[in-house]
Structure 1
């Protein structure tokens, strides 16, 4: 079991790494046309964070959601949740695409559904 000092130190390291990654990615994100990083999870119908935005409820873990428009890019900033994306409706696909808890990326193909998972 971790001591209280180890927990605080781990939390401080995680916060510092997250802040550094956000600061590092901000310049590249703006140069490519991405929206600014913000806490939460967002799916975009266009590449590079463009098009219709779907806001993902990161507290709705495990529930499958089918999108009204396919997602082509995603942005996730969360310390505890990630998003699994599926190329088929109703979370059907042989291999889902996982975002991780800190991601800003174009997806390899159009995604039709998603579910939130613990990171």
Structure 2
């Protein structure tokens, strides 16, 4: 019985210490390497997945024309993105009323990230074309 308890305890300890390694907050250079040139499918708290293309030249392009919300906003738009203080920042001409938002990015694996906006809103995203 003792051997089973030790094995279970060791398994729980390994699981607890391995989980944080999978969820690693990215540094500024890591954000640029991970996001630049990628199609990012942003899972929003509003129940839609927003496709965003983060070009290497600092342009971010979004297209929501296929969603009902697209009739209330500009259906597609190009904004700017950059990295500041280990956060991904972006600004759109009209989306989000032209306000700049910055995000902490956490790696959840090779093709998945978690994001937390500077106002506390958070979600996940998958990457790749």
User: Structure 1-normalised TM-score?
Assistant: 0.28
